[in-house]
Chains A and B, each alone.
Chain A
Amino acid sequence: MSFEIRVAKRLGETDIAIDLNAGAGATVLFGPSGVGKTSVLNMVAGLLRPDAGRIVVGGRMLFGDGVNVPVERRRAGYVFQDARLFPHKRVAANLTYGAAAGADVAAVTGFLGIGHLLDRWPRSLSGGEAQRVAIGRALLSNPRFLLLDEPLTSLDRARRAEVMQAIEHIRDVLMLPILMVTHDPEEAERIGTRIVRM
Chain B
Amino acid sequence: MLSAEEWTVILLSLKVGGVAMAATLPIAFALAWLLARVRFPGRVLVDAIVHLPLVVPPVVTGWALLLAFGPAGPIGEPLQRWFGVSVLFRWSGAAIAAGVMALPLMVRAMRLSIEAVDRRLENAARTLGAGPWRVFWTLTLPLSVPGILAGAVLGFARSIGEFGATITFVSNVPGETRTLPLAIYSVLQQPDGDAMAMRLSAIAVALSLAALVASELLARRAGRGLHVL
Contacts and interface: CB of A to CB of B under 8 A. Distances in A.
Contacts of B225: 87
A82 B121 CA distance: 10
Contacts of A45: 127
Nearest to B132: A72
A97 B227 contact: no
Interface string B120-144: 1101111111110000001100110
B142 A88 contact: yes
A72 B121 contact: no
B129 A75 contact: yes
A76 interface: yes
Pick the most buried of A73, A82, A98, A137: most chain B CB atoms within 10 A of its CB.
A98
A83 to B, nearest CB: 9
B127 A47 contact: yes
The B interface is mostly helix, strand or loop, or mixed, namely: helix
A138 interface: yes
B143 A88 contact: yes
Interface string A37-61: 0000000011100000000000000
A137 to B, nearest CB: 7
B229 interface: yes
- Interface size of B as a range: 10 to 19
A138 B128 contact: yes
Contact of A72 (B129, B139, B227, B229): B129
Given A84-B121, A87-B225, A88-B227, A71 B127 contact: yes
A87 B227 contact: yes
A18 B86 CA distance: 67
Contact of A47 (B123, B129, B138, B139): B123
Pick the most buried of A87, A88, A97: most chain B CB atoms within 10 A of its CB.
A88
Interface in A131-154: 137-138, 141
B145 to A, nearest CB: 9
Nearest to A74: B127
B127 A97 contact: no
A185 to B, nearest CB: 28
A80 B125 contact: no
A138 B127 CA distance: 8
B129 A141 contact: yes
Contacts of B120: 80, 82, 84
A58 B57 CA distance: 65
Nearest to A147: B127
B130 A97 contact: yes
Contacts of B142: 88
Sort A-B residue pairs by CB-CB distance and give the 9 closest, nearest first.
Answer: A98-B128, A71-B126, A78-B127, A84-B124, A88-B227, A141-B128, A98-B129, A72-B126, A72-B129
25 contacts: A46-B126, A47-B127, A70-B131, A72-B127, A72-B130, A77-B127, A78-B124, A80-B124, A84-B120, A84-B121, A84-B123, A86-B121, A86-B124, A86-B125, A86-B138, A87-B143, A87-B225, A88-B142, A88-B227, A97-B125, A98-B125, A98-B127, A138-B128, A141-B128, A141-B129
Given A75-B129, A84-B120, A86-B125, 12 more contacts: A46-B126, A47-B127, A70-B131, A71-B126, A77-B127, A80-B120, A84-B123, A88-B143, A97-B125, A137-B128, A141-B127, A141-B129
Interface of B: 120-121, 123-131, 138-139, 142-143, 225, 227, 229
